[in-house]
């Protein structure tokens, strides 16, 4: 059996990016899942970072890329040429907005066309990329990417904010780091980054956070494999402070995967009696891997179970604090998950709102009197956030909201809401709810 010869440098990354984009754009696959399946197959960390950068950029400029194809081609690409469309969008993204050297983009992308079995279309790829290099991509209306139902909800929820939300959600997200205080200080780690030629900024009010205003492969972060640091947006890092369990408290993370927030709680207090729950055993393995890398959670209980079926997993010992980072529409993190605009449907939101309510009702009786449940989402839709919490408080006599400071975002009913890009962070909602003693 003959083995395929290795692809030339740079070509493998373009092939991988085209395949990921084809799966996401034309087959309804999740971008996160495609990255998880594809990136480990690339040995070079730089290639893995390049694939991520190309895919994110291609999805962000999809409307402009499609406008270019419509203007520059005599007829629309047929369905059988969907992989070619994905490759062309990847090529356009490398030229604008990634601004990579044009000669390298053209050479590697044309070779990628051949590697994908499209030798007969290599000349077309070359011609279209050269035109994009010469003329630039045409402008396109951002509304072509944002579904009408989502625009309507955002206009109703946040009057006058729609274009700012879209602009922030279309921008490249910075890299936020969380320094593991069990292994060092934030300032010391910043010095390590500086020595490695990486400049990072300190953010007020986040004791473990650093922000790098560029995309950065984790392989380039000093001590990442050893657990010195994690990648976690500043908005997600605020969760630990909002919950703020007492030392040694019994804490439930009810939707724990992939484990970043639970790990942060354990970094702050290794003595917490933590139970990490997730409905999917495969996702729970990611929690175990996160804990192992960071050197935390040796005594934590990890359970694969449905959080709403408490009779199947709860041991009847109340929790002092519960984190419910609920399944949501992810409309606050479109800059990190641009495929949300492709795959999310309005009916999905209605189903998520119902699930969030079931989770709140099921978990509340597990909370000790005087304990706090933190309800959090990465959504910016009021139905999942402000209205969800208001409905819960209305039907739960022994629940009361705990005021959170302005650093958690703008006031949103009983909680706080951050919109995408505010303070450089993702869109996020927080509501702290205390059970009456």
Domains contained in the chain, CATH given:
11-140 (1.10.940.10), 175-231 (3.30.70.1170), 242-435 (3.40.50.150)
Q: To 5 degrees, how large is the angle CA 169–CA 172–CA 174?
A: 110
- pLDDT band at 1, cuts 50/70/90? very low
Nearest to 34 by CA among 59, 9, 5: 59
* Model confidence pLDDT, tens digit, residues 274-310: 999 999 999 999 999 999 999 999 999 999 999 999 9
Residue 378 falls in the annotated catalytic set: yes
Catalytic residue among 55, 255, 328, 378: 378
| pTM > 0.85 | yes
CA–CA separation, 236 and 171 (whole Å): 19
Kindly report the number of other CB atoms within 10 A of residue 188's CB atom. Answer: 11
Helices 31-38, 45-60: inter-axial angle, 10-degree rounding = 160
In 3D space, the residue among 325, 337, 180, 194 whose CA is nearest the CA of residue 264 turns out to be 180
Q: What is the pLDDT of residues 390-434, one digit of tens each?
A: 999 999 999 999 999 999 999 999 999 999 999 999 999 999 999
Convert the pLDDT of each residue in 234-266 to its tens digit: 999 999 999 999 999 999 999 999 999 999 999
């Amino acid at each position: 059996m003959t083995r395929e010869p290795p692809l030339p440098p740079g070509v493998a990354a373009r092939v991988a990016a085209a395949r990921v984009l084809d799966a996401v754009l034309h087959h309804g696959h999740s971008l996160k899942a495609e990255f998880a399946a594809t990136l480990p197959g690339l040995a070079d960390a730089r290639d893995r970072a390049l694939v991520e950068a190309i895919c994110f950029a291609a999805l962000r400029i999809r409307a402009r890329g499609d406008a270019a194809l419509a203007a520059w081609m005599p007829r629309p690409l047929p369905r059988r040429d969907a992989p070619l469309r994905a490759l062309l969008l990847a090529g356009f993204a490398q030229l604008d907005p990634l601004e990579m050297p044009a000669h390298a983009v053209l050479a590697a992308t044309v070779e990628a066309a051949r590697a994908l079995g499209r030798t007969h279309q290599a000349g077309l790829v070359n011609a279209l990329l050269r035109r994009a290099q010469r003329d630039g991509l045409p402008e396109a209306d951002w509304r072509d990417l944002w579904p009408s139902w989502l625009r309507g909800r955002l206009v109703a929820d946040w009057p006058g904010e729609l274009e700012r939300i879209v602009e922030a959600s279309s921008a490249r997200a910075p890299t936020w780091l969380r320094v593991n205080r069990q292994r060092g200080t934030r300032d010391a780690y910043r010095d390590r980054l500086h020595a490695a030629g990486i400049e990072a900024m300190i953010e007020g009010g986040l004791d473990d956070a650093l922000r790098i205003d560029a995309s950065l492969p984790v392989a380039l972060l000093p001590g990442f494999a050893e657990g010195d640091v994690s990648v976690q947006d500043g908005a997600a890092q605020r969760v630990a402070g909002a919950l703020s369990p007492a030392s040694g408290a019994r804490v439930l993370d009810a939707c724990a995967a992939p484990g970043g927030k639970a790990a942060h709680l354990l970094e702050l207090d290794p003595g917490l009696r933590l139970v990490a729950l997730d409905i999917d055993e495969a996702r729970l393995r990611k929690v175990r891997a996160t804990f192992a890398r960071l050197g935390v959670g040796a005594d934590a209980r990890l359970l694969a179970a449905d959080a709403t079926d408490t009779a199947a997993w709860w041991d009847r010992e109340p929790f002092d604090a519960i984190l419910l980072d609920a399944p949501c529409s992810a409309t606050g993190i479109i800059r990190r998950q641009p495929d949300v605009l492709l795959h999310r449907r309005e009916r999905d939101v209605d189903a998520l709102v119902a699930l969030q309510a079931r989770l709140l009702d099921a978990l509340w009786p597990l909370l000790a009197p005087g304990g706090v449940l933190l309800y959090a989402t990465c959504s910016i839709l009021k139905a999942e956030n402000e209205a969800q919490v208001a409905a819960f408080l209305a039907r739960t006599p022994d629940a009361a909201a705990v005021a959170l400071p302005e650093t958690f975002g703008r006031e949103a009913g009983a909680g706080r809401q951050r919109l995408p890009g505010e303070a450089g962070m993702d869109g996020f909602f927080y509501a702290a709810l205390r059970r009456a003693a």
